[in-house]
Amino acid sequence: MSVNAGARLDRLPLSAFHRRIVTLIAIGMFFDGYDVYVAATVLGATLKSGFSTLAQNAQFVSVTFMGMMIGSFLTGFLGDRYGRRFTYQANLMIFGLASLAAAFAPNMPWLIALRGVMGIGLGAELVAGYAALTEFLPPQARGKWSGILNAAVVTSLPVSALASTLLIPRIGWRIMFVIGGIGALIVWYLRKAMPESPRWLESIGRAEEAETILLRIEIEVTRQGVVLPEPAPTTAVGPMRGVGTLFQPPLLSRTMVGFLTLIVENTLIYGFVSWLPTFFVQQGLSIATSFKFSFLMSMGAPVGAAIAAVSADSLGRKPAILGASFSAIVFGGIYPFMRDPVLLPLVGFLLVVSIYVLVAMLFAIYIPELFPTDLRMRAAGLCNTVGRTATIFTPFLVVLLLRKYGVAGVTCLMIGMLIVQIVVVHFFGLEPRRRRLEELES
């Protein structure tokens, strides 16, 4: 039985159904981002109070990344085997409960262990949320709405910084984990009403379930006075393929593009953005000024995501990726030479904007589009896992470059990686703009 799920979803006009799906996924991913970004301020507070040591803080960060790598890897296989709905609900439950437990950690070893569990849920949410949304959206709006989803995620960066500034001095660091845990569990309850992806159901042969969900969606949309056009012709659904298919033509080039671009983006985030306060102190600024400049530059994250949302469908994915990469090279080349107290955060802000255009375009929009439905979660999970491996080595490389060459050494690393990214995406990248997912599979 063929239900033609992709074509039937793609003919739907944007409606309250799509807005509800985007909102529920976005809120969950906001709390995911919040839990990732809040670590910096929490660790500062635990260190100051004597709850932790510098060595334990390093273990906390390392365990977070290890958990996120495991979560990214596992969710890809679980998502293609048990469904999108199962994975994004399971990971919310994992990091929600672990976050609440972390608020009551009796000592730092317990907090580190719970952070590892949280990391599994955090890494899984990023893969599951973007992949699930991609399968519900029509091609003419897929880039814009996926970009909006990423904007919601990165907005948690300035929000977590502001919440930490207001709450930690008055209540203590534990309240930050309470907020993240309760928020995640509330979203878990609200998401129970979300449907499974009909595209995925059809891809594994559960056609009757896909038909039931599609009819329910179509009835909801037509009740708004919309007359649905005829769907595109049915596309044959083949058997579910093994992960080895990703390393054979024609998907091999897409897998390599996914691996390389996410290594670059993780290096930009954890090799530059996360080190901003340290860079400012290294350049002779006070701690207070360092935090102020870092906050101003962090506002570039949601701006960059918004630009990606606007440009993805109008310019196309590849032009936006190449343009943002070139922009990051320009501002990255200028940044180390800035000393003026006005120009330094301004150039830094523009550099962060360029970086987060790439983050939104690649994590949220481009990578999930590159792969067929039956392999989408495993492919995205593997790309994210490989990208996360960069975060293991990045801190050591940044310290080495900072000691020998200063901030200029770090930005040279960024520029070199961005040049490689431009070449790879230009020659090997696919352009998914306004194309149906089923068309891209061929």
Q: Has residue 302 been placed in a domain? A: yes
Same domain? 189 vs 70: yes
Q: Are both 198 and 264 inside the same structural domain? A: no
Please write the tens of the pLDDT for every residue from 346-373. 888 999 999 999 999 999 999 999 999 9
370 and 441 fall within a common domain: yes
pLDDT confidence tier of residue 116, bands split at 50, 70 and 90: very high
Full residue range of the structural domain in which residue 287 is found = 244-442
Q: Are 10 and 232 in contact (CB under 8 A)?
A: yes
In a domain, 249, yes or no: yes
Three-state SS sequence of 45-79:
HHHHHCCCCHHHHHHHHHHHHHHHHHHHHHHHHHH
Query: Same structural domain for residues 260 and 184?
Result: no
Q: Which residue has the tokens 């030479």?
A: 337
Domain co-membership, 285 together with 417? yes
Residue 233 counted as domain residue: no
Q: Are residues 98 and 163 in the same domain?
A: yes
139 phi and psi, to 5 degrees? Answer: -60, -30
For residues 77, 72, 34 and 177, what is the CA-based torsion angle, rounded to 10 degrees?
80
Show the tokens assigned to 273: 């953005």
Structural contact between residues 166 and 321, judged by C-beta atoms closer than 8 angstroms: no
407 compared with 185, residue with greater pLDDT: 185
User: Mind listing the pLDDT tens digit for each residue in 304-327?
Assistant: 999 999 999 999 999 999 999 999
Min mean pLDDT across 231-235, 307-311, 406-410, 437-441 is at: 231-235
Domains: count for the chain: 2
CA angle, residues 351, 355, 359, in degrees to nearest 5: 165
CA dihedral 399, 335, 307, 133 (to 10 degrees): -10
Identify whether the C-beta of residue 95 lies closer than 8 Å to the C-beta of residue 125. yes
Q: Quick one: the chain helix, strand, coil %, rounded to 5?
A: 80, 0, 20
Decide if 239 is inside a domain: no
The per-residue pLDDT for range 241-298, each reduced to its tens digit, is 889 999 999 899 999 999 999 999 998 887 777 666 566 666 666 555 666 777 778 7
3-class secondary structure, 235 = coil
pLDDT (tens digit, 9 = 90+) per residue, 67-109?
A: 999 999 999 999 999 999 999 899 999 999 999 999 999 999 9
Residue 270 and residue 332 in one domain: yes
| Cα 306 to chain centroid, rounded | 14
Say if residue 198 is preceded by a cis peptide, omega within 30 of 0. no
Do 105 and 178 have their domain in common?
yes
CA separation, residue 169 to residues 100, 162, 175, 249 (Å): 20, 12, 11, 56
Torsion, Cα of 144, 150, 156, 157 (10° steps): -110
Q: How far apart are CA 14 and CA 223, in angstroms?
A: 14
Residue 386 resides in a domain: yes
Percent of the chain with pLDDT over 90: 60
CATH number of the domain where residue 296 is located: 1.20.1250.20
Mean pLDDT computed over 203-223: 94
Same structural domain, 131 and 266: no
Is 122 inside any structural domain? yes
Asked if 390 and 270 touch (Cβ cutoff 8 Å), the reply is yes
Return mean pLDDT, the chain: 89
Whether 239 shows a pLDDT value over 80: the answer reads no
Q: Do 118 and 259 lie in a common domain?
A: no
